[in-house]
Chains A and B, each alone.
Chain A
Amino acid sequence: MCSSTSPSEPTLSPLQRQLMHITQHGLPLTEHPYQTLAEQLAVTEAEVLSALQQMQDSGVIRRIALVPNHYAIGYRFNGMSVWQIKPDQLQQAGQRLAASGWVSHCYQRPTHGTEWPYNLFAMVHGTSRAQVDELLQQIKTLLGDSCLSHDVLFSSAILKKTGLRLTATNQ
């Protein structure tokens, strides 16, 4: 299948593992955050920068960034759109949707019999329901005959949002 299902598993160095643990709650809010991390771990800033750079290059870290609360910044309509795509057209459908710029995440996921026939998942965000409905209509047109059925599941509450939490025992 694709590369994401069989990732080369780069083993993290002890320093990288420590960095993952002490930054999972967030980056220290200082003018020189990597120096602060270096001081906490009793290594040099250059070592921290090189370890983080390597993690970023290998994709262990996507980026160091702000994660806004969708609702709080005005995106009150967050829909998980799900599409039942003919299996032989899934690849093309996924690539088209990814290139459209209309969705933030787009994944192939397994179906669960008749209870869940949808194999393509794409997240859509909008400041109004009408905006999201319009996006969905555009996606439907884009997917055309390859799509047999679809649905959209709006989130009505954030029940938890902490991000990654590793156990202390594996530190």
Chain B
Amino acid sequence: MATDQQLLLADPLNRQLINRLQHGLPLCHAPYQALAEELGTSSSDILQRISQFLDSGLASRFGPMFQIERAGGAFTLVATHADEDDFDRVVSIINARHEVAHNYRRDHRLNIWFVLACERPQDVPQVLQELELATGCRMLNFPKEQEFHVQLYLPV
């Protein structure tokens, strides 16, 4: 699988496409057409490449990036600590919740950091309480108090 990814990244057109597609796709009837002309290829070739990015794991997702809080929902960052010999159990309980959008292991005493996406803000304390009961670990809640900047762009 790593080889697939390396082969894909070795192709300059794939790298251009990964860069361009991070900026966003237009809302129109043929959203790939202008990009295809610019890169000297076809829409169907672009689609095939996107599909390879997803299949190989080079990209985790392609589609609308939602800000659920703008639609009445809530995102929050949560941290907890699990002992090494209990780590997998705790992670599997956390990851089983559909509200957990992503979860990272980090090098710190607080070694589990995950993001909860709830459709209603009042669901957050409920989910955290249930997770504390199920895991036996204290959940530290880090809701966003202010957003200064969000623009993830990782050029390749």
Please report A residues at the B interface, Cβ cutoff 8 Å.
Answer: 1-2, 4-5, 7, 9-12, 19-20, 23-27, 29-35, 45, 49, 52-53, 55-56, 58-70, 72-75, 80, 94-95, 97-99, 103-110, 112, 115-116, 121, 123, 125, 151, 153-167, 170
Chain A nearest Cβ from B66, distance in angstroms: 5
On whether the beta carbons of A125 and B140 are closer than 8 Å, the reply is: no
Q: Are B27 and A160 in contact, CB atoms less than 8 angstroms apart? A: no
Q: Which 3 A-B pairs have the closest CB atoms?
A: A98-B149, A63-B24, A66-B21
B119 within 8 A of A: yes
**Inter-chain contact B70/A7, CB cutoff 8 Å:** yes
**Of B31, B62, B112, B154, which one neighbours A75 at CB under 8 angstroms?**
B154
CA distance A157 to B94 in the complex (A): 15
Q: Cα distance A10–B144 when bound, in Å?
A: 19
Contact A9 B149 (CB under 8 A): no
**Residues of the B chain whose Cβ atoms lie less than 8 Å from the Cβ of A151:** 108
23 A-B pairs in the complex with CB atoms less than 8 angstroms apart = A10-B70, A20-B64, A26-B54, A26-B62, A29-B51, A31-B30, A31-B43, A34-B28, A63-B23, A64-B25, A64-B27, A66-B21, A69-B59, A73-B154, A75-B154, A95-B148, A104-B151, A107-B144, A109-B143, A109-B145, A157-B104, A164-B101, A167-B98
Contact A158 to B102, CB < 8 A, known contacts A35-B29, A95-B148, A110-B145: yes
Q: Give the docked Cα–Cα distance between A66 and B99 (Å).
A: 21
A121-B103 Cα distance, complex, nearest whole Å: 17
Add 15 more A-B contacts to A20-B64, A66-B53, A160-B100 (CB < 8 A): A19-B64, A45-B29, A49-B28, A63-B25, A64-B27, A65-B25, A73-B154, A98-B148, A106-B148, A110-B145, A121-B77, A121-B142, A153-B108, A162-B102, A163-B61
B147 touching A161 by the CB < 8 A rule? no
B137 at the A interface (CB under 8 A): no
What residues on B are CB-neighbors of A9 within 8 Å?
70-72
Do B29 and A108 touch across chains, with their CB atoms under 8 A apart?
no
* CB of B13 closer than 8 Å to a CB of A: no
What is the minimal beta-carbon distance from B88 to any residue of chain A, in angstroms?
Answer: 10
Q: Does B7 lie at the interface of the complex (its beta carbon under 8 Å from any beta carbon of A)?
A: no
- B53 closest partner in A (C-beta): A66
CA distance A118 to B60 in the complex (A): 30
Instruction: Please indicate the chain A residues that have their CB under 8 angstroms from the CB of B34 in the complex.
Output: none
Q: Are B69 and A7 in contact (CB under 8 A)?
A: yes
Distance, CA A35 to CA B143, complexed state (A): 37
Known: A65-B21, A162-B101, A164-B101. A23 touches B63 (CB 8 A): yes
Q: With A60-B71, A160-B114 given, is the CB distance from A107 to B147 under 8 Å?
A: yes
Residue numbers in A under 8 Å from B61 (CB-CB): 26, 66-67, 163
A33: chain B residues within 8 A (beta carbon): 31
